[in-house]
Amino acid sequence: MNLTDKLNAQLFRYPPSQKPELLNPLVLAYVGDAVYEMFIRQYVISMPSQRPNHLHRTATRYVSAKAQSKALLALLPLLTEEETDIVKRGRNAKSGSTAKNADVLEYRHSTAFESLIGYLYYKQAYERLNYIMEASLAPEKITALAASESEAGPASNQPGGTDAGTGRVQADASEEPEAAGADPEAPSDAHKL
């Protein structure tokens, strides 16, 4: 058994009862929430300051409905047709719960983002999953990249600006993770869904 098979056996001790394409989008969001939370926790622990309160505040900036919505809107132009379909299903799913610190649209976009993460996880599309999660760390970079690609013509379906050593989307060193909240002056991309 090679390393990938061993890893899959550990990560998928209990595989889903059906193909990921057939799972309810809220089920995908349920697992996507856990996968993304773990990714973000690992990310913030990799930062220099590891005081528990600081870790929690920093992680919250990424896992909030507002931050996930912003990341999804930035990623939309870079998603495949299959991924866009999962996002739409996640956005349109009736969750039965309401957002605490976000409006309804942000909450639905957040659910859609988590559905995409859950879908890629269950598809075992680890490279793409990692790419999407890394890109979500710097949505403003993705937005700029997508704008430049649309001006230059069709390009790859992958976000760019990654560090060759880590694969992480690079934000400026001086940038703090943006607090959960969208710029009210910024144009809305909500119509793209």
Q: Could you tell me the pTM of the whole model?
A: 0.73
Over residues 2-26, the mean pLDDT reads: 80
Q: How far apart, in whole angstroms, are the C-alpha atoms of residue 188 and residue 90?
A: 19
Please name which of 47, 69, 66 lies closest in space to residue 58, comparing C-alpha atoms.
Answer: 47
How remote is the C-alpha of 51 from its chain's centroid? 25
Structure confidence at residue 109 (pLDDT) = 96
Given a cut of 80, whether residue 120 has pLDDT beyond it is yes
**How crowded is residue 68: how many other Cβ atoms within 10 Å of its Cβ?**
28
The position carrying tokens 């998603």 is 79
Amino acid at 106: E
Over residues 10-36, the mean pLDDT reads: 90
Domains belonging to the chain, first-starting first, are 19-144 (1.10.1520.10)
Structure confidence at residue 150 (pLDDT) = 65
> Among 24-33, 105-114, 120-129, 180-189, where is mean pLDDT lowest?
180-189
Cβ contact 193:88 at 8 Å:
yes
Q: How far apart, in whole angstroms, are the C-alpha atoms of residue 52 and residue 50?
A: 6
The string of pLDDT tens digits covering residues 130-149 is 999 999 998 877 777 666 66
Catalytic positions, written as ranges: 33
Predicted confidence band at 46 (pLDDT cuts at 50, 70, 90)? very high
The string of pLDDT tens digits covering residues 89-104 is 999 998 777 777 788 8
